[in-house]
Structure 1
Amino acid sequence: MIINEKRQFIPSLNQEVKTVTLQNRKHTQVTITNYGGIIMSIKTSDRRGNFAEIALGFDDVESYLDEGYQNNCPYFGAAIGRYANRIKNGQFTLDGKDYNLESNNGPNSLHGGPGGFHQKVWKMETFKEPKRTGVILTLTSDDMEEGFPGKVGVKMTYTLTFDNELVIDYEATTDKTTVINLTNHSYFNLSSMQSNVLNHLMVLYADKFTPKDKNDIPTGEIVPVNDSPMDFLLPKTIGERIADVDGRGYDHNFIINGHDDDLNIGARLVDKNTGRSLEFYTTEPGFQVYSGNYLDGSLQRDDITFTENYGICFEAQKFPDSPNQDHFPSAILKPGEKYRQTTLYKFGITDK
């Protein structure tokens, strides 16, 4: 059911934004705004029946527009496009033509650039069906917006089901050959925000990953996780070997085992203290695991301060820098084709 709909004029945007809260029969609540397609809140039950927040974000849209947030944007819950993750040096060649994007992450273009989909006000409508409720978000991205070719139409459907699943279905079309790679950037913390996520147990259904260079661009190699700090084939706490990871923590692309364009499980997360569990599924060949390495304590929700490792992201994707690496899954979309992708988060409770 839809338990709350709010419209609000935001002077800094000079337009109205909408916020919708969905609830299912298990009382799970998901709040979404059409500014940035952001998932602002996810509240679920623990094993004792206590409902609490499990997603990093804010209770009001204005906080996402605050200068402190914008200056070091962590993309809390945001829709990401046109290209999720990084493109090396903000450059790629398509059909013999060179394209230059704005670099907003060192030398690289990150998450569609500074004016990406996370900054757009989407059109929003709600729907209600017997076993599911949701919102449909649509957006038109003009030719050469942020340097990307093609006028692209995007549709995202966020659905909360009776089976305690949050499903995001993506569609996109273009009038000119382009590259596209969409994702959601929600940070999860199953502890009711009582601690960071380093003690969460995690399984990754990925026996390979793509190593990266000092600028976070894949080297082109595809490497087995083996017994490295990337090995989560069996349950381990996120913090068990995070200190052994080059850089500040996990921010790596993992390759789905047996990817076949259907929904495949990518990750499972459990907080033993609350009993909450999360399963992540995707139709994409890869997903970025990001352990909130750059959360610096400058952002808060109520009395909760978002410090390093306070959330974990599972970002469904083509591989980072795919437009520049021919042996990676193609991110090319041509006129007459339709981009489709589905991400599913399943919430549960476990005794283990």
Structure 2
Amino acid sequence: MTRKPNPAPATRLAILAIAAAFALPSSAAAPKGEPFGTADGKTVEIFTLTNRKGMKLRAMTYGAIVQSLETPDRDGKTADVVLGYKTLEEYIKDTPYFGAVVGRVGNRIANGKFTLDGKTYTLALNNDPGGIKCSLHGGLKGFDKVVWQGEGIEKDGVQGVKFHYVSKDGEEGYPGTLDLTVTYWLTDDNEWKIDYSATTDKATPVNVTQHSYFNLKGEGNGDILDHELTFKAAKFTPVDAGLIPTGKLQDVKGTPLDFTTPHKVGERVNADNEQLKFGGGYDHNWVLDNQGGKLALAATIHEPTTGRTMEILTTEPGLQFYCGNFLDGKLTGKSGKPYNYRNALVFETQHYPDSPNQPSFPSIILKPGKTMKSTTVYRFSLKGGKP
């Protein structure tokens, strides 16, 4: 057999240079935090994650807030699809939980009270839908208003940021010291993946969730009424006038809350329906068909003018959908445009609201020696095109 001679050193260098020019970018480095202001006397850092397909996610240590999420449309034009502000000061001054992790218990707890192991715990009353007071999203200073520890990470070329926070026993009225880690990843499959992990030294309720406001047309680009939704949920948890679940599970069939087949948000949001009147529109928890704790598709959201499509996968049993009913134009976003009525959608993967007071709901009580783990994925693609 005749062997071909090896290329000369100069030729080999030329070949390597050509190969490098056409290769995909090398594995991403762990992102580094950059100063973004000061809160509670602590420096707040912001981390920028990127992938190979043009997506970019920026998240800060204040509230583990996702400040921006940029993704291309069908024409290759990139837009930021989450609501938020340019500066930390604006988040501190006034925000309806834009992009934040909320908890220790996300969503509502009736009358700000629950009983655990024979003891009644009293929480701050910081929300009053329908004039009926309750505790919402962890209290007056929930996880959205504290400074977390942040660390940029990388695994197999995928960039991430790990946020860590220790909530002390008695904080906002909750029992037990909760050690919580929330990790964001931005994959080359155009997935924003969220991993939650928590432990405690005393039994305590835990229902942590992400509270980003989405507009797939781009933040500040008008209402979301033409967004088309499909939910993998045949039931929802009906609420009373204070938006507290009644404890029942109701079939969505025959109601404006039926998204088992695709419907636009604006198609039935103003229907003559008691549940929609209570919420001022959609502000309800859907009972996902998947109740086994495995990662599974929960919802698909499509925006027709840009082609952007977002799939939500989660291990959680519920999905709270809110369509910006309380946005009123008083808040101005990072693009300089006001955020008006129904200019955004919120999809909180979670256990059901008021779970500590609802024995028939899946339990959110975390006990010592156990670890709470949960995963949610927001996957972006283009309808009729590749992601």
Deviation per residue, 1:201-259 (Å, 9 max, x gap): 11111010000000010011100000211011111100100002223111000011132
Q: Which secondary structure does the structure 2 equivalent of 1:57 belong to?
A: coil
The farther-off stretch of 87-96 and 240-249 is 240-249
TM-superposed CA distance for 1:59, in Å, is: 2.3
Using the alignment, how far apart are the partners of 1:137 and 1:3 within structure 2? 13
> Structure 1: which amino acid aligns with 2:109?
I
Q: Which residue does 1:176 correspond to in 2?
A: 202
Post-superposition offset of 1:13: 2.5
Structure of larger gyration radius: 2
Paired with 2:66 and 2:36, the residues of 1 have a C-alpha distance of: 17
CA RMSD of aligned residues (A): 1.3
Equivalent of 1:31 in 49, 58, 74 = 58
Maintained 8 Å contact 2:351/2:362: yes
| Cross-structure match for 2:160 | 134
- Aligned to 1:317, which of 337, 340, 350? 350
What is the TM-score when the length of structure 1 is the normalising length? 0.96
Q: Supply the AA of the counterpart residue of 1:234.
A: T
Note if 1:75 corresponds to 2:116. Answer: no
Q: Which residue of 2 aligns with 1:228?
A: 255
* Cα displacement string for residues 61-116 of structure 1 (whole angstroms, at most 9, x for unaligned residues): 221012xx1xxx41001001100000000000000001000010121000000110
Aligned match of 2:296: 264
CA distance in 2 between counterparts of 1:96 and 1:63 reads 42
Q: Structure 1, unaligned stretches of length 5 or more?
A: none
CA distance in 1, matches of 2:372, 2:204: 11
TM-score by length of 2: 0.87
Distance 1:257 1:153 in 2: 30
The AA in structure 1 aligned to 2:383 is T
Q: Show the counterpart of 1:210.
A: 237
Q: In the aligned structure 1, how far is the partner of 2:157 from the partner of 2:362?
A: 35
Which is worse superposed, 35-44 or 13-22?
13-22
Cα distance, 1:5 vs structure 2: 3.7
Q: What residue number does 1:155 align with?
A: 181
**What whole-Å deviation, never above 9, does each CA across 1:100-145 have from its counterpart, x for those lacking one?**
0001012100000011000110000011223311000101000010
Contact 2:33 2:151 in 1 (8 A): no
Alpha-carbon contact 2:37-2:88 (below 8 Å) kept: no
SS of the equivalent of 2:266 reads coil
What whole-Å deviation, never above 9, does each CA across 1:302-345 have from its counterpart, x for those lacking one?
23211111111110111101100100010101000001111110
In structure 2, C-alpha distance between the alignment counterparts of 1:282 and 1:59, rounded to whole Å: 30
AA partner of residue 240 (structure 2): D
Write the mapping of 1:80-95 to structure 2, written as runs, cut at 5 A.
80-95=102-117
Structure 2 residue aligned with 1:237, among 257, 264, 270? 264
Quick one: distance in 2 between partners of 1:148 and 1:235? 40
* Corresponding residue of 1:143: 169
Give the one of 277, 299, 313 matched to 1:246.
277
- Which residue identity is paired with 2:324? G
Partners of 1:58 and 1:3 in 2: CA distance: 21
Aligned partner of 1:326 in structure 2 is 359
The more displaced of 104-113 and 190-199 is 190-199
d(CA) in 2 for partners of 1:240 and 1:8?
A: 41
Question: Per-residue deviation at 1:4?
Answer: 6.7
- Residue identity in the other structure for 1:263: L
Which residue number in structure 2 is paired with residue 59 of structure 1? 86
Partner of residue 121, structure 2: 99
| Cα pair 1:17 1:34 within 8 Å, conserved | yes
Letter in structure 2 aligned against 1:39: V
Q: Match of 2:144?
A: 118
Letter in 1 for 2:368: P
Counterparts of 2:308 and 2:195 in 1: how far apart (Å)?
24
Q: Distance in 2 between matches of 1:105 and 1:130?
A: 43
Picking from 40, 43, 57, the partner of 1:16 is 43
CA–CA distance in 2 between the matches of 1:283 and 1:241? Answer: 28
Counting matched residue pairs gives 346
Deviation at 1:188, TM superposition (A): 0.8
Checking the alignment, whether the CA contact within 8 Å between 1:256 and 1:264 is kept in structure 2 is: no
The answer as to whether partners of 1:41 and 1:59 remain within 8 angstroms in 2 is no
